[in-house]
Chain A
Amino acid sequence: MITATGNNFGASEITFKDYQTEDMVILNGTIDFHPSDSNYKAAEVLEIYVPSLLLKRSLETVIYLKMDRGEDETKTYRHDQYCTIVKSWIKDENTICVEKISLYDDCENLSLIFTSIFLPSNKRVPMTKFTKIDIKGASEQYGAWLPNGQAVIQDGWVFLHIDILQASYQYEQVTWEITFDNLPDDLECDIPIPGGNNPYGDKGLGYSQGKLKNKVLTIEKRPFGYGSTAYDPFVLGYFVR
C-alpha cells in the first residue's frame, strides 16, 4: 500500500494498493477532488507525490476521470456518474502525473480512478506472451447472454477484460451479482465499469462501481442508459491481489 506524501490539486489523503517491480507498477485507487479548488485551477498537469517507486519513469498509460452528480432520487438503484479516460505517467520515482482536461470542470465532485499498469521503454527483451484464460460469469439475473471475457492471473496481480452486458430488465432495481468461478478467491477490489449513455448528452460514458470479492462481482447502482446499444459496459484493467 502506498500513501501519497502530497499532490498539487487539493485532493485529501491518497492511498494506492500497489504491485511493483523495477520494470512495472500497477496502481489501484480512487482520488476524490474538487475542480473549484484553487490548487487544481493553478495546475497545468496534476501531480501526485509518493515515496520512491521502483520504476523511475514510465510511458503514458490510461486512467479514468469520473464525475458524480449524486443519486437519482427517483430511482434508488441509479446514480448520475459519468467518466472518460485521461493519460497518466510516472515522471520520476516520486511523482505520478495525470493529464488535466476541463471536460468535467463544471461539476463539483470529481475522481481519478487507477486500475492501471505503468511500463518503461527501451527494454531489450524478446517478445513473449502471457497465458490467458477465458472467463464466463454465472448469474440468475441474466438471460442467455452472460458477462464474459479474458483474464491473466499472476502472483500479485490480475488482468481483466470483461464484457458486462445488460441484465434482464426484471432485475433492474436490485444489485446485480455475477460469479466468475475461475478468478482467484483472494482478488478483492473495486472494479470500475464504464458504459451506458445519458440521452441528455452528458460527456463521457456512464460509470458504475463494481466490487469483486470471493469471485462475485456485485454492481449496486448503474447510470441511466446502461443497456443502451453501442454503449456496452465493460471492465478493462489491472488489479492488485
Chain B
Amino acid sequence: MKALPSIAFNEFTGSAGDVTARSIGGRTLLNHKAYQSHKKTPSQASSRNSLSKISRAYKQLTDSQMAAWAVLAEHMKGISTFGDAASLTPHNAFVRINTNRDLVGMSMLSDAPEYTSDVPEPDYEDFWVTPEKLIFVGMEQPKSSYRLVLRMGTAQSNGVTSGWGNLVIISPDLVPDWGDVDALQLYTERLGMTPVLGQKYFIEMYWMDSDNGFVSETVRVSTVCSEYSHVKHEEYAPALKIESDSFKPTEQVDSIEVNLSVGSGFMALNMEGAGESGVAAMTAEFETVPEGVTSGTSYMFAYCADDETRKFQDGEVGIYVSGDSGNVHFYHREGYGKKPYTVLGQGIIF
C-alpha cells in the first residue's frame, strides 16, 4: 500500500508499524492495525451471518425503497470526533437500522422508517459496580419503546485508560424497573465472572427505539469496582419497600407492601386481610423495624373485596415505631367499614 512519510498531513494512507490510515469522505482515519486471529466464535459466526444477510438484502430493494433509505441516511449523519458530519450511505443506514432490530429479535425492514426525532442519550443518577451489585439507578426510560443496550468488558487493571476495544453486549434490550437497571446476573452469565474490587470496568450504553431501530449516541463511562457508587460515592441501599416477609405472621393480614420510596413525605400501601376480630382495624407487626423507618400517619381508602356493591371507607394508616418494635396499621374512620379490608393507594405522611 502506498504511504506518504508523514502522518501529520491529511493525505496519509497505508500502514506504518501498528498504525493504519484510511481516507474517507475527505477525513483521515487512523486505527491500530488489525491482525486477523483466524478464529471464529459461535456468536461471531451468528453476528457475521446476520450482517451478511442484511447487507445482501439491500440489493433486493426497489428503487423507491432505496430512495427512501437515502432520505433517512441524511437524517442519520453521525458527527465525527473532529466535528464534521460523517456521511452515511443508504446502504449504511439500511444495515445499521436492521442490525439494531436484529439485536432485539425484530424483523428486517424493507421500507425505511420515518425519522421523527433524535433518540436521547441514556441518563442516570448513579450506579454501582461491586462484587454483589451492578446497578444503575434513576435511569428513566424516555419512551416505552426504548430499550437499553449495555456493553461491558472484563476486568482491566486500574492503569488502563482505554479498554473500549473488547466490550461485548451484556444485554440488547434492558428496560429500567422504576429507574433501576440491575445487570449483575446478565453480566455474570455473559462473561462468566462477577466484578472484582479494585479492577476497572469500561461501560458503554445507548437507547434503541424498538419501534424502528434508531439509536441514541453512546454514553461511555469507566469506573473502578468499589463498594461506593460512581457519582455520589455512597454505599448501595435498595429502595425502601417493606413486604409481607418483613412482618410477623398474623391472621389479620394476608399480604402487605409498604412503599416508602415514592417520594419524600409520602408512602404507598397495599394491605389486605380479615382485620382484627371485633375491632375496625388491621395491624401487622414488624419482625424487625427496617432501618430508616420512623412513626408517621396517613389517610387512605379501603374497600371490601367480598362486597359486590363496592362500598368503601377511609382510614388512618399508621407506621408506629418504638425502639426495636413497631407496626403498620389501618384504623377505619369514615364510610362503610366492611371486612375483609383491601387498603390501597398513596398518601402523605405526617
* A223 contacts partner chain B, Cβ-Cβ < 8 Å: no
Query: What chain B residues lie within 8 Å of A85 (beta carbons)?
Result: 301, 303, 310, 312
- Contacts known (A124-B137, A232-B335, A233-B334); A204 close to B349, Cβ less than 8 A: no
A157-B292 Cα distance, complex, nearest whole Å: 27
Query: What chain B residues lie within 8 Å of A60 (beta carbons)?
Result: 344-345
Taking the nearest CB of chain B, how far is it from the CB of A165, in angstroms?
A: 9
A183-B42 Cα distance, complex, nearest whole Å: 70
Contact B335 A205 (CB under 8 A): yes
* B266 contacts partner chain A, Cβ-Cβ < 8 Å: yes
Contact A204 B335 (CB under 8 A): no
Contact A234 B263 (CB under 8 A): no
Partner of A194, one of B180, B294, B312: B312
Q: In the complex, what residue of chain A is closest to B268 when comparing beta carbons?
A: A59
Query: What chain A residues lie within 8 Å of B314 (beta carbons)?
Result: 161, 234, 236
Taking the nearest CB of chain A, how far is it from the CB of B321, in angstroms?
A: 10
Contact B259 A121 (CB under 8 A): yes
* A75 contacts partner chain B, Cβ-Cβ < 8 Å: no
Taking the nearest CB of chain B, how far is it from the CB of A206, in angstroms?
A: 10
Contact A122 B239 (CB under 8 A): yes
A195-B335 Cα distance, complex, nearest whole Å: 6
A23-B138 Cα distance, complex, nearest whole Å: 12
Contact A123 B334 (CB under 8 A): no
Contact B239 A124 (CB under 8 A): yes
A236-B347 Cα distance, complex, nearest whole Å: 10
* B296 contacts partner chain A, Cβ-Cβ < 8 Å: yes
Contact A234 B268 (CB under 8 A): no
Query: What chain A residues lie within 8 Å of B268 (beta carbons)?
Result: 59, 119, 121
Contact A152 B350 (CB under 8 A): yes
By size class, the interface of chain A is 35 or more
Contact A197 B336 (CB under 8 A): yes
* A135 contacts partner chain B, Cβ-Cβ < 8 Å: no
- Most chain A CB within 10 A, of B260, B296, B303, B334, is at B334
* B249 contacts partner chain A, Cβ-Cβ < 8 Å: no
A195-B140 Cα distance, complex, nearest whole Å: 40
* B299 contacts partner chain A, Cβ-Cβ < 8 Å: yes
* B337 contacts partner chain A, Cβ-Cβ < 8 Å: yes
Of the stretches A10-18, A125-133, A174-182, the one at the interface is A125-133
Q: Mark B273-305, 1 if CB is under 8 A from A, else 0.
A: 000000000000000000011101001110100
Partner of B299, one of A59, A121, A128, A236: A236
Near A by CB (< 8 A), chain B positions 306-326 give: 308-312, 314
A127-B259 Cα distance, complex, nearest whole Å: 10
Contact B263 A62 (CB under 8 A): no
Near A by CB (< 8 A), chain B positions 231-269 give: 237, 239-241, 259-266, 268
Query: What chain A residues lie within 8 Å of B133 (beta carbons)?
Result: none
Query: What chain B residues lie within 8 Å of A1 (beta carbons)?
Result: none
Q: In the complex, what residue of chain B is closest to A92 when comparing beta carbons?
A: B144
* A111 contacts partner chain B, Cβ-Cβ < 8 Å: no
Contact B311 A121 (CB under 8 A): no
A150-B177 Cα distance, complex, nearest whole Å: 35
- Most chain B CB within 10 A, of A24, A122, A152, is at A122
Query: What chain A residues lie within 8 Å of B296 (beta carbons)?
Result: 127, 129
- Most chain B CB within 10 A, of A120, A150, A197, A201, is at A120
Q: Mark A213-241, 1 if CB is under 8 A from B, else 0.
A: 00000000000000000111110101000
- Contacts known (A60-B344, A163-B334, A231-B335); A130 close to B349, Cβ less than 8 A: yes
Q: Mark B58-94, 1 if CB is under 8 A from A, else 0.
A: 0000000000000000000000000000000000000
Contact B140 A125 (CB under 8 A): no
Contact B177 A122 (CB under 8 A): yes
A233-B335 Cα distance, complex, nearest whole Å: 6
A61-B300 Cα distance, complex, nearest whole Å: 10
A128-B346 Cα distance, complex, nearest whole Å: 15
Query: What chain A residues lie within 8 Å of B240 (beta carbons)?
Result: 124, 127
A29-B347 Cα distance, complex, nearest whole Å: 19
- Contacts known (A122-B178, A127-B240, A233-B334); A150 close to B350, Cβ less than 8 A: yes
Near B by CB (< 8 A), chain A positions 46-85 give: 56-57, 59-62, 84-85
* A159 contacts partner chain B, Cβ-Cβ < 8 Å: yes
Extra pairs beyond A101-B310, A230-B337 (8, CB < 8 Å):
A59-B262, A61-B346, A62-B301, A92-B143, A123-B264, A152-B350, A161-B299, A197-B311
Binding site for B on A (CB under 8 A): 23-24, 56-57, 59-62, 84-85, 87, 92, 101, 103, 117-132, 150, 152, 159, 161, 163-164, 194-195, 197, 201-205, 230-234, 236, 238
What are 8 contact pairs spanning A and B, CB under 8 A? A59-B346, A84-B312, A119-B266, A120-B263, A125-B263, A129-B296, A195-B334, A203-B308
The 8 closest A-B pairs by CB, nearest first: A234-B334, A122-B178, A132-B350, A119-B262, A232-B334, A84-B310, A122-B239, A121-B178
